Amino acid sequence: MSVADLLTGTLAEELAGSPQLRVFVETTPATGVAARAARLLRQQPLALVGGFTSLTGGPGRPRDWILDVFTLLRRGLLGVAPAPVQLDAAGRTNLSGIGTPGRPKVALIGPRGLPENNDTPCPLWYFLAAHSPRALVERVDIVCGPAPSGLGRRTLLSPAGCFDLVDGRWRARWLAPGGDELVAGAPALGIEVPAGTPVRERPEPATLDALEAVDPDGRRRAEFGE
């Protein structure tokens, strides 16, 4: 079982099942692979952008689209799969640093667009290569992305499985093999695992075919150390 295939494939399926999305922001190589695979799985076009640059498909080629980004977010049309440094039990995110706001002990990149994209009508997937207790905390040190208010779906994809933020709490949709141990190892997130939660080992065959078609060299696996 490849965690990269499982999570990248699941993200591709989620994007294929979100026909309202017009644009997807590629944040890492694996998320870009997922979006390209999703294009093969969905009927609607899906434009890809890498941050604010390099539109690689879809409608038009906007060169001055910075204001469009925020309009797409407010209208629920833009998908993103961020990898915050910290994600907490209420869905708050942090990419700024560890320690005190304004004077972190360990400074990182900065808030980037997390304040804009964490509470919108758009579906959003937190895409983490590790299910780590250092990253999955009760409350983030620096609140960059506010707690989602339920306007759009919020889903965590990690090597432990797939988890939805429902009424302000994380709940398992399915676990990856061994996911129960990983969930237990990061208890601060407060994930509820209902009895009978299924274990998922791999994406659908058509999804795996799509992954191979767009990523024959397996770039998606490097992100997961495979």
Partner 1 sequence: MTDLREVLADAVADGALVATGGGELRRKPMAAVRTLAGLGRRELRLATMLGSADVEALLAAEAVVEVHSAGVALEGLAPRWREARQTGSPRVVEWSEGTFVAALQAAALGIDSQPWPAGLRTDLPAINPWLKEAADPHTGAAVLAVRALVPDVALLHVPTVDEEGNAHVEDDLVADGLLARVARRVVVTYERRTDADPALGAINALWITDLVQAPGGAAPTACAPDYGADSEGLRSL
Chain residues in the site for partner 1 (CB under 8 A): 49, 51-55, 62-67, 69-70, 74, 95-97, 101-116, 119, 142-147
Place of tokens 């079982």: 1
**Min separation Cβ 70 and partner 1, Å:** 6
The distance of closest approach from Cβ of residue 27 to partner 1 in the complex, given in angstroms and rounded to an integer, is 12
Which of 72/183 has CB closer to partner 1? 72
**Residue 70 or 174: which CB sits closer to partner 1?**
70
Query: To the nearest whole angstrom, how small is the minimum distance from the Cβ of residue 30 to partner 1?
Result: 18
Q: State the alpha helices, DSSP H only, in 76-107.
A: none
| Cβ proximity to partner 1, 117 vs 207, nearer residue | 117
Calpha distance 131→114 (Å, rounded)? 20
Q: Residue written as tokens 């060169």?
A: 63
We find the least distance from the C-beta atom of residue 89 to partner 1, in angstroms, to be 15
- Give the C-alpha distances (Å, rounded to integers) separating 40 from 15, 37, 205, 209: 11, 5, 13, 10
114 three-class SS: helix
CA-to-CA dists, residue 15 to 22, 52, 203, angstroms:
10, 20, 13
Q: Which is nearer to partner 1, 120 or 197 (CB)?
A: 120
3-state SS, one letter per residue, for 65-87: CHHHHHHHHHHCCEEECCCCCEE
Considering the complex, what minimum distance in angstroms separates the CB of residue 42 from partner 1? 24
Q: Are 201 and 1 within 8 A, CB to CB?
A: yes
Rank residues 9 and 113 by Cβ distance to partner 1 and give the closer one: 113
